[in-house]
Amino acid sequence: MKQSTLFMPTLREVPAEAEAASHRLMLRAGLIRPLAAGIYSYLPLGRKVLRRVEELIRREMEAAGAQEVLLPAMQPAELWRESGRYGVYGPELVRLTDRHGREFALGPTHEEVITTLVRDEISSYRRLPMTLYQIQTKFRDERRPRFGLLRGREFLMKDAYSFDADWEGLDRSYRRMEAAYHRIMQGCGLRYRAVEADSGSIGGEGGTHEFMALCAVGEDTIVSCTACDYAANLEKAEAAWTPPEAPQGEVPVPDAERWHTPGVRTIAELTEKLGEEAGLLLKTLIYLADGQPAAVVVRGLHEVNEAKVRAALGADVLELADAETTQRVTGARVGLAGPVGLQVPLLVDREAAALAEGITGANEADWHLRHVVPGRDFPLERVGDYRNVRGDDACPRCGGGLEQHRGIEVGHVFKLGTKYSAKLGAVFTDETGVERPMIMGCYGIGVSRILSAVVEQHHDEQGIVWPEGLAPFDAHLIPLGQEGPAAELADRLYAELRSRGAEMLLDDRAERPGVKFKDADLIGLPVRIVIGRDAAEGFVEYKERRSGETFKLTAEEAAARVL
Ligand code: ATP
Ligand code: MG
Ligand code: MG
Ligand code: MG
């Protein structure tokens, strides 16, 4: 591809709306452009990387014996009522009505569709096991789409579904998929952990593992053992968590008169209002903050508890711009506690509230609950406060030490069991002629989310550093000058490498070298070959993007290294 004709609008400026490094870089390198919140167009470079990820996934799915299908995005609401999820799924489900008044949903996931498809076509144990997969656009009206492709409202997912005659069969299908997932994660160059998790709204009777890419902007907190291979999503580890010794008995909220949470003067009162979990966390937090927090940000009230929190505290829950402002204004420490989920600044210093009113212009009565996000509202080191809370934990499996990471869920494998097959009547006849529900598993990968996770892990100050298998091109050829020996040698290398199967990008633009180098670093191809002064003698400069190492090579040597 010649860069002069490539649709690759790079940006010098850092787009203001982008909080995560991956989001900024993907906009700057011209991979994606937003259309609406959480909805993106993929430009040629972005599409190419997406295709590479898709190809890797397809290869592993086929190797694991899964067959590709493509299921409809538009799904009758009736089907979702049959499975019992139409009501439960909530506002994340994109609903629409056709011209005849029939209700539909845009698929956020495809258990219903695949289960009815298999139900209608397969009736004998002889046709089982079977695993089907698709790579398809999913729609979820996320409450907070953000971080570019990390949490979109329209995104690309690979979802696979296994159908087995018995639980042993499901075990085998599940393990095959799990193994494929490990290969996919490795193929994408991701640092990740496979963790035990809870099954959430998809539900099911068996186990479930999440594949978590380790990134500071990750919305999940995971713990892993330093001695054995135990790793879990914090929600899951919570069960095994015993908090550190916290003060006993009636602990007053420190400096109670300064706090604006009417009716609450002691932790016990707060516990009563919010429930055991929040009370415990606050107690621990205030203890750790030496009794001097200026604002307490409680994470750990899971989304399901939001309604409870609102109902319990009502107008008492104040928002003080955000945690960072709280800190700036009060000059005091802001605490952070709790696992993933809702983050609510609960207690706000009266003076700080008055100051904040001056800054934000918001009257107390207008403040709403607002979600505070580490990394955006809050320097990430602050998460360290929380780490202390759990610093003494021991691994529930071997008693070893646990360490914490922030993670992005890039994959998820579930043992569904008969949850959907029983509801939707996906039964088969076994060897003895008895009808039984199929035993199912489901396996998702966030294909578009992987792009962001990879960039999040593989970048530097200058731009993206693509892992080899995912780069949109194999190498970047940069002639200095548009005619003469440099341009001629570049053209020759370009033609030769392409004819031998390499995907090349040739920067044939009439730009200054500095501009070309900046763009090259930004889009991050693994190899950059600069053809300049030494071209007449047949020499080029070969540079590895990742290490920054530079070699003076003959054109032939450089070509051989690319191939
Ligand atoms: P999350 O916990 O991040 O909301 P999820 O548990 O709701 O994800 P699943 O239902 O398990 O997601 O879907 C399978 C995969 O699809 C996830 O592991 C993730 O990689 C991807 N995914 C889910 N939601 C999104 C989204 N809004 N944008 C991009 N990818 C997503
Ligand atoms: Mg979700
Ligand atoms: Mg999840
Ligand atoms: Mg999940």
Q: What is the DSSP string of 100-129?
A: TS-EEEE-S--HHHHHHHHHHH--BGGG--
Give the closest residue (by CA) to ligand 1 atom 8.
409
Give the closest residue (by CA) to ligand 1 atom 26.
151
CA angle 117, 120, 125 (to 5 degrees): 100
473 or 241, greater pLDDT:
473
Residue 286 in contact with residue 261, Cβ under 8 Å? no
Residue 538 alpha carbon to ligand 2 centre in Å: 55
524 or 322, greater pLDDT:
524
Q: How confident is the model at residue 274 (pLDDT cuts 50, 70, 90)?
A: low
Q: How confident is the model at residue 401 (pLDDT cuts 50, 70, 90)?
A: confident
- Residue 139: is its pLDDT beyond 80? yes
Q: How confident is the model at residue 266 (pLDDT cuts 50, 70, 90)?
A: low
> CA 2 to CA 44: how far, in whole Å?
13
Residue 357 alpha carbon to ligand 2 centre in Å: 34
Structure confidence at residue 398 (pLDDT): 78
Least confident of 72-86, 289-303, 408-422: 289-303
**276-288 helix and 267-274 helix, angle to the nearest 10 degrees:** 150
Q: What is the DSSP string of 393-449?
A: -B-TTTS-BEEEEEEEEEEEEEEEETHHHHHHT-EEE-TTS-EEEPEEEEEEEEHHH
Candidates 428, 414, 429; CA nearest to 162 is: 414
275 or 21, greater pLDDT:
21
- Residue 395: is its pLDDT beyond 50? yes
Which of 157, 184, 219 has most ligand 1 atoms within 8 Å of CB, for mutation? Answer: 157
φ/ψ of 114, rounded to 5, equals -70, -40
Least confident of 72-86, 257-271, 429-443: 257-271
Give the closest residue (by CA) to ligand 1 atom 3.
409
Which of 198, 409, 415, 442 has most ligand 1 atoms within 8 Å of CB, for mutation? Answer: 409
- The ipTM estimated for the assembled molecules is 0.99
Share of the chain above pLDDT 90, in %: 59
> CA 271 to CA 286: how far, in whole Å?
13
- Residue 241: is its pLDDT beyond 50? no
Q: What is the enclosing helix (H) or strand (E) of 105?
A: strand 103-106
Ligand 1 pocket list (CB less than 6 A) = 109, 140, 142, 151-152, 155, 157, 200, 202, 409-412, 444, 446, 448-449
- Residue 334: is its pLDDT beyond 50? no
Structure confidence at residue 16 (pLDDT): 82
- Residue 519: is its pLDDT beyond 80? yes
Q: Which atom of ligand 1 is nearest to the CA of 450?
A: 20
Question: What is the mean pLDDT of the segment spanning 265-278?
Answer: 53
> CA 301 to CA 452: how far, in whole Å?
27
For the chain, the 3-state helix, strand and coil shares in percent, each to the nearest 5, are 40, 25, 35
Structure confidence at residue 271 (pLDDT): 53
Residue 158 alpha carbon to ligand 1 centre in Å: 11
- Residue 446: is its pLDDT beyond 80? yes
CB atoms within 10 A of CB 265: 14
Which of 112, 412, 450, 451 has most ligand 1 atoms within 8 Å of CB, for mutation? Answer: 412
Question: What is the mean pLDDT of the segment spanning 93-120?
Answer: 97
pTM for the model stands at: 0.76
Question: What is the mean pLDDT of the segment spanning 127-135?
Answer: 98
- Residue 501: is its pLDDT beyond 60? yes
Structure confidence at residue 205 (pLDDT): 53
- Residue 263: is its pLDDT beyond 60? no
Structure confidence at residue 61 (pLDDT): 98
- Residue 197: is its pLDDT beyond 70? yes
Structure confidence at residue 331 (pLDDT): 41
How confident is the model over 351-389, as pLDDT tens digits? 434 443 443 333 333 226 233 333 333 333 333 333 323
Structure confidence at residue 89 (pLDDT): 85
Give the closest residue (by CA) to ligand 1 atom 14.
444
Residue 117 alpha carbon to ligand 1 centre in Å: 23
- Residue 298: is its pLDDT beyond 70? no
> CA 49 to CA 35: how far, in whole Å?
20
Q: How confident is the model at residue 206 (pLDDT cuts 50, 70, 90)?
A: low
Name the 3-class secondary structure at 183.
helix
- Residue 323: is its pLDDT beyond 70? no
**Average pLDDT value over all residues in the chain:** 78
- Residue 316: is its pLDDT beyond 50? no
Residue 131 alpha carbon to ligand 2 centre in Å: 23
Name the 3-class secondary structure at 227.
coil
Least confident of 32-36, 90-94, 272-276, 537-541: 272-276
242 or 321, greater pLDDT:
242
> CA 107 to CA 157: how far, in whole Å?
11
